[in-house]
Amino acid sequence: MIRDGVSVSIVLAAAFVASIGIVFIFGCFSHKKGIESFYVNSEDEIKIPVVELITTPARTHIGEAGDVLSTEFSSKFNSTELLTKRENNKLEHVLASSRAAILKAASIKNKSIIFRNNALLSRQIYRNPYAFYRSYVEMERRFKVYVYEEGESPLVHDGPCKDIYTSEGRFIHEMEQGNNGFRTRNPEAAHVYFMPFSVTWMVKYLYHPNTHNVIPLKEFASDYVRIISRKHPFWNKTQGADHFMLSCHDWGPVTSQGNAFLYNTSIRVLCNANSSEGFNPKKDVSLPEIYLYGGEVPSKLLHPPPFNSSRPHLAFFAGGVHGPIRPILLQHWKGRDSDIRIYERLPETLDYYYFMLQSRFCLCPSGYEVASPRIVEAIYAECIPVILSEHYVLPFSDVLRWEAFSIQVDVSKIARLKEILLAVSQAEYLRLKEGLRAVRRHFVLNKPAQRFDVFHMILHSVWLRRLDLRVW
């Protein structure tokens, strides 16, 4: 009897110790900073979150884009049933392994990293080159995307490929038709789910011009979510948190309002990345706006002038006067200074790309919405982008240091534009230009897609947000 009592006591004691261990382990992975914190400051203590989604307000200042995922998060999922259902999810264990590998890489203190092809990733350009490279490799090895097959072309499974919304159509086509290795036909094996509708084509086919009635767009998005949520179990399991949509049209954000969870919970990949209008950089992704006339990069931008060649113009801009910022720019500088070439409409006798290639700085003011294709064009032309915007979360800013290859000027300082640009030393100018050359590949649309190009960088941004989403 005593022996049996001792055995029972030992078992109870062991169970107690085990429960304490479980509580300790769970506690270690609770209420921590996001996976993105290593891109912001790898020397801080880096901890892995067990949060499911972020609910803190979106940042509202362009300079804060770099630490969009570095603050403490809180969960949007409090369902015990959901936690139980996914407790043994193999996908989550795979993601945990990736998190651990990225954390380990983030602790490396060297100033740079050299890859096999001798391409150099510097801390001057990347927030943490080791963490980025490790994360990118983990994405290539593991990341799987399920593309919903519901819907018919052209509103779904298609998109524009030869205009200002090129990045929308090209991503949809590459995801659907490309041999990139990320798409899975097995939804149970997917980490995220892509809803391949095109807001641009919705506007073309559903919107009645000059009515300002966007209800048909919202209704289409709402109907699409309703269809996939009734036909498949995946949306309802996470309230859409592991789903993403992509749009380069200005009305992408308002279209997503057709479903509350699509707007507030899902990952929205948007060109119109305005943090003052609901864009939340902790869960949403800023999409580069790329204007490809005829579907290809203009031949003049394929081979910019030699690195040390002279550029006679200090700054250049030509474009329509719309939105709140451009009128201020033209008021102060149109026709007032020969060093700063400002045009409302470029005369037909002058060439737009010639001026970009012959200017040291290319002015990129927002129009009606925050994004501008001039930023990517300036990168191609190796003309330092001067970003004149408010509340714009720049693409890939959770990985890239935009201050290493661009200049951001507050709208209130437009009157001092020449003074600001002349204050950039020759050494600093060359450093910025080197930065443009280093990041160019991240903003190029290749067909087929190539490593580190814009398609892969978009997916990597989605991958990072999925790493911060634990559906346990």
User: CATH number for the domain including 360?
Assistant: 3.40.50
**Model's pTM, two decimal places?**
0.83
User: Are 326 and 267 members of one domain?
Assistant: no
User: Are 373 and 328 members of one domain?
Assistant: yes
Instruction: Work out the number of other CB atoms within 10 angstroms of the CB of residue 98.
Output: 22
User: Are 314 and 280 members of one domain?
Assistant: no
Residue 441: helix, strand or coil by DSSP?
helix
User: Are 307 and 266 members of one domain?
Assistant: no
User: Are 238 and 258 members of one domain?
Assistant: yes
Residues 6+ apart with CB under 8 A from 392: 62, 65, 273, 274, 275, 366, 370, 371
Q: What total of structural domains would you count in the chain?
A: 2
Tokens of 118: 């001798």
Instruction: Work out the number of other CB atoms within 10 angstroms of the CB of residue 198.
Output: 28
Residues listed for the chain: 472
Angular region, 294: left φ>0, alpha ψ -120 to 50, beta rest: left
Is 396 domain-assigned? yes
Name residue 243's beta-bridge partners: 193
User: Are 316 and 401 members of one domain?
Assistant: yes
Is 385 domain-assigned? yes
Model pLDDT, residue 67: 37
pLDDT tens digits, one per residue of 356-403: 999 999 999 999 999 999 999 999 999 999 999 999 999 999 999 999
Is 38 domain-assigned? no
Is 156 domain-assigned? yes
Distance between CA atoms of residues 283 and 58, nearest Å = 9
User: Are 261 and 352 members of one domain?
Assistant: no
User: Are 321 and 347 members of one domain?
Assistant: yes
Residue 462: helix, strand or coil by DSSP?
helix
Residue 96: helix, strand or coil by DSSP?
helix
Is 430 domain-assigned? yes
User: Are 368 and 336 members of one domain?
Assistant: yes
Is 123 domain-assigned? no
Model pLDDT, residue 114: 61
Distance between CA atoms of residues 271 and 369, nearest Å = 9
User: Are 304 and 288 members of one domain?
Assistant: no
Distance between CA atoms of residues 387 and 392, nearest Å = 9
User: Pairing between strand 243-247 and 267-270?
Assistant: parallel
Residue 26: helix, strand or coil by DSSP?
helix
Instruction: Work out the number of other CB atoms within 10 angstroms of the CB of residue 365.
Output: 24
In terms of Cα–Cα distance, which of 398, 124, 143 is closest to 286? 398
Distance between CA atoms of residues 472 and 469, nearest Å = 9
In terms of Cα–Cα distance, which of 62, 59, 160 is closest to 370? 62
Is 388 domain-assigned? yes
User: Are 246 and 321 members of one domain?
Assistant: no
In terms of Cα–Cα distance, which of 126, 132, 86 is closest to 106? 132
User: Are 361 and 245 members of one domain?
Assistant: no
Residue ranges in the chain modelled with pLDDT below 70:
1-88, 111-119, 469-472
Rg of the chain over CA atoms, in angstroms? Answer: 24
Residue 387 belongs to what domain range? 299-443
In terms of Cα–Cα distance, which of 216, 208, 231, 233 is closest to 151? 231
Q: 343 phi and psi, to 5 degrees? A: -130, 135
Name residue 363's beta-bridge partners: 386
Q: 392 phi and psi, to 5 degrees? A: -90, 120
Distance between CA atoms of residues 357 and 349, nearest Å = 16
Is 348 domain-assigned? yes
